[in-house]
Amino acid sequence: MAHEDTAIVDAPAPAWHDRAVLDIIAGLLKIHGFPEFFDAAAAALARLVGADGAALVVPDGADRLRYRLFHGLETLGQAPITKFSFPAQRGTVGQVLATGEYRFTADYAASEAAMPEFIAAGLFANLVLPLGGPSGPLGALAVAWLYRKPPPLTADALAYAEFFAALIGNALYREGLERQLEHRSLTDPLTGLPNRRMFMLRLREGQRRAIRNQSLMVLAVLDLDGFKAINDVYGHAMGDQRLCQAAEAMRRSIREVDMVARLGGDEFVIILEDICSVREVRAILRRIVAAVANNEGNRDSPQKLTASLGASVYPLDFVAPDTLLKHADQAMYRAKRDGGNQYALYDEHLGGSL
């Protein structure tokens, strides 16, 4: 049963609404980007029900909610409302998501669920509707009246609001699916690291940033020593586990601004940005090699995994992305020929690595 702080009036909507809604839907179907779709849908719904705006509220972690998009009220006090988050149990939105039913609050300040932040911001009334998904609400649509009383909420107005909530919910669900597909296209399914496609995009961006910021960018290629033996002796399932443990060790050994990606098999690439000196490069590369040698899988196993790592420094090695990768790969093979569990730096002028 829906929660209502005032009665629904069973009165017909103006005759022009039916044709207006059809025209609005036709326009919405031509919009493919979700933020633009939401803004157009929220603006249309606000006009239809005589409201001042509408907000999209979505989960923010396991136990919080946040305002992702808003049409009509851009700030809460002095802060952008999109930066505002609150516990998932609070407010009329929290109640709607807990019950899965809409709630119309005609006098927000008098409601037991009112939040002081919104009373202070001038919220007079709201209508909150869940945005349905296959496994429960994906979020909520909060229609707002500011500084004034809302008109009577008719059965037709409620039907329009529920219809627009369904449209926005479907668009939000579709956006989520598209994000999942994009993430999968850029992610290695075994390790969860970025894949070759994502790496190449990041490499080109990193080279541009290095030139713009007058800093060094390092491209490193890493190959695991001893991985084939683990696969041969213990099988591919154990090999996959050990590979994931080594990948996690690499990820933990680099900074937030850096990236480690899996090219395939037991070969990885690492991009290090905002580096000031070759001395700093050497320190980071030593840390990565040590992290692989000391990874969790090596603790109680007779079959150790170590790393052969080769790197080239851009723009000291001022070449195209594919050539930079080739140079780092050459340095990696030099490290492997010299016994592995070490790094080598490419230097074109010396004909190899140093």
Phi, psi dihedrals of residue 66, rounded to the nearest 5°: -145, 155
Q: What is the distance of C-alpha 140 from the center of its chain?
A: 19
**What share of the chain in percent tops pLDDT 90?**
63
Does the residue 190 lie in any domain?
A: no
Q: Are residues 13 and 146 in the same domain?
A: yes
Residue 74 tokens read as: 């851009």
Q: Which residues pair with 56 in a beta bridge?
A: 69, 141
Does the residue 211 lie in any domain?
A: yes
H or E segment and range at residue 15: none
Question: Is the pLDDT assigned to residue 240 strictly greater than 80?
Answer: yes
Q: Are residues 223 and 322 in the same domain?
A: yes
The per-residue pLDDT for range 3-35, each reduced to its tens digit, is 556 555 444 444 445 677 777 778 888 888 999
pLDDT at 156: 85
Q: Pick the last residue of a domain from 135, 160, 185.
A: 185
Burial (CB < 10 A; 0-12, 13-18, 19+), residue 267, is: middle
Residue 40's pLDDT band, with cuts at 50, 70 and 90, is: very high
Please give the Cα distance from 44 to 30 (Å, whole number).
15
The per-residue pLDDT for range 138-151, each reduced to its tens digit, is 999 999 998 788 98
* Total-model pTM: 0.64
Strands 267-275 and 85-87: unpaired
Terminus-to-terminus CA distance in the chain, angstroms? 73
Q: Are residues 316 and 204 in the same domain?
A: yes
Question: Is the pLDDT assigned to residue 98 strictly greater than 50?
Answer: yes
Q: Are residues 93 and 202 in the same domain?
A: no
pLDDT at 94: 92
With a CB cutoff of 8 Å and minimum separation 6, the contacts of 304 are 226, 293, 298
**CATH code, 348:** 3.30.70.270
Residue 287's pLDDT band, with cuts at 50, 70 and 90, is: very high
Q: Are residues 115 and 206 in the same domain?
A: no
In the chain, the number of structural domains is: 2
What's the whole-number mean pLDDT along residues 128-132?
94
What's the whole-number mean pLDDT along residues 173-201?
90
Does the residue 339 lie in any domain?
A: yes
Q: Are residues 49 and 178 in the same domain?
A: yes
Does the residue 191 lie in any domain?
A: no
Q: Which range has the worst mean pLDDT, 29-33, 283-287, 326-330? A: 29-33
Phi, psi dihedrals of residue 5, rounded to the nearest 5°: -95, 5
Q: Are residues 112 and 249 in the same domain?
A: no
Q: Which range has the worst mean pLDDT, 48-57, 77-86, 194-203, 261-270? A: 77-86
**CATH code, 24:** 3.30.450.40
Residue range(s) defining the domain that contains residue 330: 196-353
Report the chain's mean pLDDT, rounded to a whole number. Answer: 88
**What share of the chain in percent tops pLDDT 70?**
90
Question: Is the pLDDT assigned to residue 334 strictly greater than 80?
Answer: yes
The single residue listed with the structure tokens 């190959």 is 223
Does the residue 313 lie in any domain?
A: yes
Q: Which residues pair with 271 in a beta bridge?
A: 219, 259
Least Cα distance to 92 among 21, 153, 141 occurs for 141
